């Protein structure tokens, strides 16, 4: 069975807190994901996501704060718009937007983080592995 690899860009104020809380509760999670904490979801560069996909990482998740709850004066709004455009681009190129998970305001709690990770794993397991280009 395909063993997907996931890279998570987690906003320090939301997704990362969820990841940390899941750790504190010792919730058992699949191990093939790596979290990179970011100051804000708006710091996630589109090139970084493309580079990760080209490097053979099967799925990228960007976890940010909910709309209207950004610590940086709604910086996450622009991030959502930009990353949704990137999803369109991924669809156009055939990589598929399902490899880029955008989730804003839904990973703040431990169980929410758990659910997101597990569902994303299940989804990616059905997709063929991405061959690394780089």
Question: Minimum CB separation from other proteins for residue 1, in Å?
Answer: 15
Q: How many helices (H) and strands (E) does the chain have?
A: 4, 4
Question: Minimum CB separation from other proteins for residue 92, in Å?
Answer: 20
Phi and psi angles of residue 11, each rounded to the nearest 5 degrees, phi first: -60, 135
What residues make contact with other proteins under the rule CB under 8 A? 5, 7, 13, 16-17, 19-20, 22-24, 26-29, 31-32, 34-40, 42-48, 51-52, 55-57, 68-69, 71-75, 78-79, 82
Beta strands in the chain, from DSSP E residues, in sequence order:
6-11, 33-38, 59-64, 100-104
Question: Minimum CB separation from other proteins for residue 83, in Å?
Answer: 9
Closer residue to other proteins in complex, CB, 103/113: 113
Cα dihedral across residues 15, 21, 27, 31: positive or negative: positive
């Amino acid at each position: 069975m395909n063993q997907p690899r996931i890279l998570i860009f987690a906003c320090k104020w939301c997704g990362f807190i969820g990841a940390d809380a899941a750790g504190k509760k010792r919730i058992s999670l699949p191990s093939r994901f790596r979290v990179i904490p970011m100051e804000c979801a708006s710091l996630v560069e589109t090139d970084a996501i493309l580079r990760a996909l080209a490097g053979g990482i099967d799925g990228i998740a960007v976890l940010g704060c909910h709309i209207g709850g950004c610590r940086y004066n709604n910086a996450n709004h622009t991030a959502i718009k930009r990353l949704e455009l990137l999803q369109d681009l991924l669809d156009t190129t055939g990589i598929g937007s399902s490899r880029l998970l955008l989730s804003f305001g839904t990973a703040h709690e431990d169980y929410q983080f758990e659910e997101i990770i597990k569902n994303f794993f299940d989804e990616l397991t059905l997709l063929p592995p991405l061959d690394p280009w780089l």
